[in-house]
């Protein structure tokens, strides 16, 4: 159920890159994992931090992360329900990856106005047209 694209890694030679991206590449997974780096959280707690996510999506993503062994879901037999999510050991091993993603994003996406590099070689391109 809801297995995304984890099953097929056909890129010969080896692309652990793809394999990893398949696990954390959903729209919300990266951020969820990043938030969970800070500690255990309840469902709605996560939801509030990911403003914009729907319940269905959040449930889906959390379930996939759980199925992939990256997070641990603990439901307390209470009413109203209380469900906690935290990183598994496996998930925590992703910390350097997440932090690398975050560091690069901070340095290269949000800060600068990245100029279109596609201007220099346009002269060559137009020569072929």
Partner DNA sequence: GTATATAGTATCAAAAAGGATACCGTAGCA
Partner DNA sequence: TGCTACGGTATCCTTTTTGATACTATATAC
Question: Applying CB under 8 A, which residues contact a second copy?
Answer: 5, 10-21, 23-25, 27-28, 30-31, 33-34, 49-52, 66-67, 69, 72-77, 81, 88, 90, 93-94, 96-98, 100-110, 114-118, 120-121, 124-125, 127-128
Element (H, E) at 75: strand 71-76
Q: Report, in angstroms and rounded to the nearest whole number, the Rg of the chain calculated over CA atoms.
A: 19
Using rule CB under 7 A, residue 62 touches DNA: yes
Whether residue 80 is preceded by a cis peptide bond, meaning omega within 30 degrees of 0, is: yes
Minimum CB distance to a second copy, residue 43 (Å) = 14
Using CB under 7 A, which residues numbered 66 to 95 contact DNA? 73, 75, 79-83
Min CB(105)–a second copy separation in Å: 3
Between CA 42 and CA 45 the distance in angstroms is 5
Q: Residues 45, 48, 54, 60: what is their CA dihedral angle, to the nearest 10 degrees?
A: -30
C-beta of residue 86 within 8 angstroms of C-beta of residue 71: yes
121 touches DNA by CB under 7 A: no
User: Do residues 55 and 61 lie in contact, with contact meaning Cβ atoms separated by under 8 Å?
Assistant: no
The one among 35, 42, 49, 92 contacting DNA by CB under 7 A: 42
Give residues in contact with DNA (CB under 7 A): 2, 4-5, 26-27, 42-45, 52-57, 59-63, 73, 75, 79-83
């Amino acid at each position: 159920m809801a297995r995304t694209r984890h099953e097929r890694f056909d890129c010969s030679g080896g692309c652990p890159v793809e394999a990893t991206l398949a696990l954390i590449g959903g729209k919300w997974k990266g951020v969820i994992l990043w938030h969970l780096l800070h500690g255990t959280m309840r469902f709605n707690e996560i939801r509030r931090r990911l403003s914009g996510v729907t319940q269905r999506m959040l449930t889906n993503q959390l379930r996939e992360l759980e199925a992939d062994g990256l997070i641990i879901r603990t439901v307390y037999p209470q009413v109203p329900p209380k469900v906690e999510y935290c990183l598994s050991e496996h998930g925590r091993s992703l910390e350097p990856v997440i932090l690398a993603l975050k560091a690069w994003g901070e340095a290269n996406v949000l800060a600068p106005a990245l100029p279109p590099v596609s201007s220099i070689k346009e002269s060559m391109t137009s020569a072929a047209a």
